[in-house]
A and B are shown apart, each in its own frame.
Chain A
Amino acid sequence: MEYLSADKIAVIDLASRKVMEDELDEDLVTERIGGIGITKHLYEKYADEDPIVIGTGLLTGSLFPGSSLGILTARSPRTNNVCHAPFCQHAGMEFKYAGFDYIVIKGVSETPVYLWLHDGIADIKPADEIYDMTPWEIVDNKKGLRGKLGDELIQFLSVGKAAEVDTNAAQVLVNCWSSGDRWGFGRLFGEKKLKTIAMRGMGLMEVADPEDFLDKCTDLVSLLTQNPALAKKGCIAFPAAMGAENIVDWIAPLVHRHSAAFNTPFPYNTFVKYNEAPTVMKESDVEEPGVMITDIAALLGFKKLNLSAEQACRMIEACNKYGIDPTAAAAMLEKSGAGDFESMQKQVPGLKENTQDAGTTPFSPWCPSQPLFAAFDGATDAAWWQRRQAVAYIFGIDPIFAIMAPEITEAKLIEAVTTGTELEISADTLEDVIASVIS
């Protein structure tokens, strides 16, 4: 696969410590397009070995707006179904530029390990030194792996201590922050004794028709500048847009800055500071001034427990350090009669309820279930949301941005990958792939 691709699939067996590599076959891309079209295919191919499949879409890491998405595909301990968890920020892009389109992780390691993906190489490394670290410590520029591996831009998919106990709420985090893993995939990392996946991308991806691809992307960016969503900032604006309580004033005194996932025009990650003044813009000596709010449901979950904004944010920090899905943690605490803030903080390391639900969709409820800020044509019901998610996960588009941007149509996505790859990918092909991933 020559274009919009790293042209590599790696099958990593943690039991034998062997890595098999293969090229990404153009026929497979023509048939399955990419993203979850192919992660699900690979999952089914290795299903007997209980794999975790990680991949990206053809547009991930490209000029196409919203191209930040990476995907984890595995059988969810929570639903017992094959589900997909999105990871955005800069990790999806980094995975692809590290030289991989897809990796299949199978087998169980005898001893703790981590994966180091770089320059098209997948190294399985002993994790003894980092096994007791929190996800925050793993990324540390001095004591953690960024320091040890000598690069402060390494991105991580990590688990914390929650992955070692019997809980379906253990989460795979992106660096220090919550991801879209609401499926308990952290538990699967723990069972495989896989502590983290470190990724750094120095690669280059060719585009079949670079000028036309650039034109298509810039035309779309021009269209997007008219989108009312781009006047908003932060996931803290989501609840009001969804017809729920407006929390902006509640959280505003803590808000520092909003940041975006890779090449995504809407900055929905909201950083709050409570260990120093949020107005401080220059770099200070405070190592951990606050936390990044990446999952609005988690913040709302803790607000519901009658916590102040600062307390709710500190609870998210505690969950991130322990490696538990904060949305699930808030629900567990509510169910158990949470108590006061101090009591809740103490309970976090012991949270291990095995939440089970039937699971009506393979797509993460991390993404709000309705359009945000912008109007889409036609019904915007559960079927619309599921199709919109499927399309985003197939092409590598940020799922939250996908529900804000009606300008990103299925036709434009097909045009972009056709221009970028010169492969014949039709609307009928997309229809077939959507049907296969939703079923």
Chain B
Amino acid sequence: MGLKFDSLKCTSCMACELACGYHRDEALAMLASSIVTYRNREKKNYFGIMLKEPENLVLSRPEGWKSNASVSWMKTWKPTRPPNPSCSGRPAICVKMKKRDLSA
């Protein structure tokens, strides 16, 4: 099973984050998830998906896909846990971010 994210179809419902945490712990806990819904800019309605990888972070943003992010709010961000061992061997854990190029 895999997930593919199209950031413009994301509705910020957090179902993917919840499912990932559940897959890890067989319990309901978002903290354990490798998939994180970025929803920190609520007034701007700016949201998307982040994927924690062992040495990397992949962002599925409204304006496009980005890896090894260097935007300011990412600089202090650290994954809370390493990826789930049960996900090892699968490409990009279970997530494939769709690349999108928007000029807007």
Q: What are the residues of chain A within 8 A of B104 when measuring CB–CB?
A: 277, 279-282
Shortest beta-carbon distance from A259 to chain B in Å: 5
Out of B26, B31, B44, B62, which one reaches A289, CB within 8 Å? Answer: B44
In contact, A281 and B63 (Cβ under 8 angstroms)? yes
Whole-angstrom CA separation of A62 from B61 in the bound complex: 25
A210 pairs with B44, CB closer than 8 A: no
Set of chain A residues within 8 Å of B12, measured between Cβ atoms = 259-260
Task: Tell whether B11 is near chain A: CB-to-CB under 8 Å.
Answer: yes
Interface residues of B in 43-95 (CB under 8 A from A): 43-47, 61-63
Q: How far is the CB of B8 from chain A (nearest CB, A)?
A: 7
Known: A210-B26, A265-B15, A279-B104. 8 other contacts (CB 8 A): A63-B22, A176-B43, A206-B28, A207-B27, A257-B62, A267-B13, A281-B102, A283-B46
Does A263 touch B at the CB level, under 8 Å?
yes
Enumerate chain A residues within 8 angstroms of B46, measured Cβ to Cβ. Answer: 283
| Bound form: Cα–Cα A176–B43 in Å | 8
A48 CB to closest chain B CB (Å) equals 36
Partner of B44, one of A175, A262, A284: A284
Chain A's nearest CB lies how many Å from the CB of B25?
A: 7
Contact check, A203 vs B13: say whether CB atoms are below 8 A apart: no
Take A205-B29, A207-B28 as given contacts and tell me if A263 and B15 are in contact as well, using a CB distance cutoff of 8 Å: yes
Q: How many chain B residues touch the partner (CB < 8 A)?
A: 31
A259 touches B11 (CB 8 A): yes
Contacting residues, chain B, for A290 (C-beta < 8 A)? 45
Report if A141 contacts B (CB, 8 A). Answer: yes
The 9 tightest CB contacts between A and B, nearest first, are: A282-B63, A204-B29, A267-B11, A260-B13, A260-B11, A152-B40, A281-B62, A271-B45, A210-B26
* Contact for A204 among B11, B25, B41, B45, CB less than 8 A: B25
Contact A202 B31 (CB under 8 A): yes
On whether the beta carbons of B102 and A282 are closer than 8 Å, the reply is yes
Contacts of A273 in B (CB 8 A): 45
Closest Cβ of chain A to B74, distance in Å, is 12
Does A261 have its Cβ within 8 Å of any Cβ on chain B? yes
Q: Is B39 close to A, CB under 8 A?
A: yes
A288 near B29 with CB under 8 A, answer no
A258 to B61, CA, bound (A): 15
Quote the shortest CB–CB distance from A204 to chain B (angstroms). 4
Which residue in B25, B40, B62 is a CB contact (below 8 Å) of A282? B62
**Does A61 interact with chain B (Cβ within 8 Å)?**
yes
Minimum C-beta distance from B16 to chain A (A): 10
**B contacts with A: majority SS:** mixed
Chain B residues in the interface with A (C-beta under 8 A):
8, 11-15, 18-19, 22, 25-32, 39-47, 61-63, 102, 104
A283 vs B7: C-alpha distance when bound (angstroms): 14
The CA of A257 and the CA of B13, in the complex, are separated in Å by 13
- A: interface residue count bin: 35 or more
A-B contact pairs, 13 of them (CB 8 A): A62-B28, A93-B14, A175-B42, A176-B43, A204-B27, A204-B32, A205-B29, A206-B28, A259-B12, A259-B13, A260-B12, A263-B14, A286-B44
B78 → A minimal CB distance (Å): 15
Contact A289-B13, Cβ < 8 Å, known A204-B29, A210-B22: no
> Which residues from A are CB-within-8-Å of B25?
204
**Cβ of B45: which chain A residues have Cβ within 8 Å of it?**
256-257, 259, 271, 273, 289-290, 292
Q: Cβ of A139 and Cβ of B42 under 8 Å apart?
A: yes
- Cα(A292)–Cα(B46), bound, Å: 12
A273 to B45, CA, bound (A): 9
Give the distance in Å from the alpha carbon of A90 to the alpha carbon of B15 in the complex: 12
Q: Which residues 132-152 of A sit at the B interface, judged by CB distance below 8 A?
A: 136, 139-141, 152
Kindly list chain B residues whose C-beta atoms are within 8 Å of the C-beta of A205. Answer: 27-29
Residue among A62, A140, A263 with the highest chain B CB neighbour number at 10 A: A263
- Give every chain B residue within 8 A of A62 (Cβ-Cβ): 28
Q: Which residue on chain A has the smallest CB distance to residue B26?
A: A210
Q: What distance in Å separates the Cβ of A391 from its nearest Cβ neighbour in chain B?
A: 21
Contact A141 B62 (CB under 8 A): no
Residues of B within 8 A of A257 (CB): 8, 45, 62
For A282, what are the chain B residues with a Cβ–Cβ distance below 8 Å?
61-63, 102, 104
Bound complex: CA of A201 vs CA of B47, how far in Å?
Answer: 19
Known: A63-B19, A90-B14. A259 touches B47 (CB 8 A): yes
Q: How far is the CA of A284 from the CA of B63 in the complex (A)?
A: 11
Q: Which residues of A contact B41 (CB under 8 A)?
A: 141, 283
Chain B residues in 8 Å Cβ range of A327 = none
A264 proximal to B (CB < 8 A): yes
Residue of B nearest to A420 (CB): B28
A171-199 CB mask vs B (1 if < 8 Å, else 0) is 00001100000000000000000000000
